[in-house]
Amino acid sequence: MTQTSLAGDRARRESIQAQLTPAVTADLDAWLELFGSPDANAASLLVDRHDPEAVAFTTVSLRDSAISPQAPQASRAEQPPLIEPSPLIEPSPLIELVEITYGQLAAESRRLATALAGMGVERGDRVGVLMGKRTELVVSLLALARLGAVYIPLFTAFATPAIEMRLRAGGASIVITEPSQASKLDDIDGLTTIVAGEQFDALIADNDPLDHSVSVGGDGTLILLFTSGTTGAPKGVPVPLRALASFSCYMRYGLDVADTDVFWNAADPGWAYGLYYGILGPMAIGRPNVLLQAGFTPEVTATVLTELGVTNFAAAPTVYRSLSKNPAINGFSLRRASSAGEPLTPDVITWARTSLGTEVRDHYGQTEHGMFINNHWADDLRRPLIPGSMGQPMPGFAAGIVGDAGAPVSEPNVTGQIAIDVPASIGYWFAGYLDAPEKTASRYTEDGRWYLTGDTGHLDADGNFFFSSRDDDVIIMAGYRIGPFDVESVLITHPSVIDVAVVGRPDDLRGEVLEAFVVLADGVSGDDALETELQQLVKTGFAAHAYPRTVHFVDALPKTPSGKIQRFVLRQR
């Protein structure tokens, strides 16, 4: 790299930093120093430094009632609650609450770490964890961190082949799981399993606390998380300890989690948003989160929001869409509401202002970076919400739009690939995919300056980013580039439509034409008349040329476990 390019990188960083308030700059610098230190210790930073009496997590299970579509997960076998339900929360006939403190997490993780060390786990080893939102998941993560070992999250909706692929790719031979998931591991050779309940509890009870936690430093790997596979085989992303600086920044400035908030990130910790900002982020800044031990329904979500008095809520767009389709769910008074995973449609934003008491702000990120473009909630960064916009780069990141030739686009409202200006992003932590140097290299422009997200979008004149589609989801019809989200945003406004995906289909004349896959509300039948109605809706609500030539009425859309539509599957139908 030349002196000229180094000077340019420095100038861009300084220019970006100058746009931040002194308070934001001070916070960012402090987090980068704390989590990026060469002697940084994950266990100390996540749990040991916090007040041992402070609540880290509140687990919520459903009592037998009409709101429960499925039984809650079993509690810890033959063991009383770690702590009695908080006297600050009134007992509820609908839900059961158990709070766990940082002191309890510290004590149990030290003992489990000793047990794992006795099984041969040491620094750098990778261990899978196949669990739902339970206390044992957090204890396992912290125990591995104490040993300098690497935590591989495994989503509980995975079937055996998906689990085995991740374990083999990660070189893991030990898996910590729960009773409802254990049978998925039976046919995988060479595994040692630890099952929550009697076995897990005995390992804690029968071992002394580990007296020394390993310091891996800011560049040491804490997590190995596999991408959701929207465009092909999942890729392993090593997450270093210093990524907690970026996660802390998002908790503070993206979500605006305050000391007085009852915060609930409803995303599953088997995926990036739930793990980064439902487990790691809250512990990094010492703020409690809620762990709901039940499947999702709008009714259950509404009950938890009400019974706990949630003030700061984060969830996937699917959650908000489902809530918005139920007219009985309204009257909430949230202070903050945030969404990530896929762009929010304008109708959901309009609904939220009335029914949730606040707008839902869309945030954008990837497994490889966490969130880095946001409609920030914190006063220091908040701007008026523009429907359809993802917002602006988060402190620590610089982003832009890159054209086909790999050069940044300087004109507003020109579609290109959303990209991160790596040298100018002091919060950037992605170092490459596991054992995939060619795939890693393909993510960067030739000069190494820009990381290419694979998503297309544009910037307006005020610096707001707008998402269009995955780069390989863009539909080119008769020379027109059409993002499926634009068409989906219109179709979803129809009262009979509860979910929709649009893809391109090869066409001899136009190159591609649009096809829509539509999930209808209960009791609604798809017929030719409804197909015509939906086509006309797009013609009048978006563009006359961009209507779907065919509408398929389906029971469900193929999605990744994190909720992202797998359009490549639909294109193969």
55 in Cβ contact with 99 (< 8 Å): yes
* d(C-alpha 164, C-alpha 463), whole Å: 43
Sign of CA dihedral 86, 316, 555, 492: positive
Q: What is the SS3 assignment for 460?
A: coil
The one-digit pLDDT tens for each residue of the chain (573 residues) are 555 455 556 666 666 666 788 999 999 999 999 999 999 999 999 999 999 999 999 999 988 654 544 333 333 333 333 334 343 445 577 889 999 999 999 999 999 999 999 999 999 999 999 999 999 999 999 999 999 999 999 988 888 888 998 999 999 999 999 999 999 999 999 999 999 999 999 999 999 999 999 999 999 999 999 986 555 567 999 999 999 999 999 999 999 999 999 999 999 999 899 999 999 999 999 999 999 998 888 889 999 999 999 999 999 887 898 898 888 888 898 999 999 977 788 888 899 999 999 999 999 999 999 999 999 999 999 999 998 899 999 999 999 999 988 999 989 999 999 999 999 999 999 999 999 999 999 999 999 999 999 999 999 999 999 998 776 777 878 756 677 887 898 899 999 999 999 999 998 777 889 999 999 999 999 999 999 999 999 988 877 888 999 999 999 999 877 677 888 899 988
Q: What is the SS3 assignment for 9?
A: helix
Q: How far is CA 537 from CA 134, 486, 528, in A?
A: 44, 12, 14
- DSSP annotation of 204: H
**Residues paired with residue 365 on neighbouring β-strands, in sequence order:** 371
* d(C-alpha 479, C-alpha 466), whole Å: 21
With b for 16 or more beta-carbon neighbours within 10 A and e for fewer, the 254-266 pattern comes to bbbbeeebbbbbb
Assign 3-class secondary structure to 13-57.
Answer: HHHHHHCCCHHHHHHHHHHHHHHHCCCCCHHHHHHHCCCCCCEEE
457 sits in which H/E element: strand 450-459
Q: What is the SS3 assignment for 322?
A: helix
Query: Could you tell me the domains of the chain?
Result: 32-396 (3.40.50.12780), 474-571 (3.30.300.30)
CB atoms within 10 A of CB 502: 29
**Residues paired with residue 314 on neighbouring β-strands, in sequence order:** 265, 338
Name the one residue in this structure whose structure tokens are 């009695």: 84
* d(C-alpha 5, C-alpha 3), whole Å: 6
Nearest 5°: CA angle at 168, between 167 and 170? Answer: 65
State the pairing for strand pair 475-477/465-470: unpaired
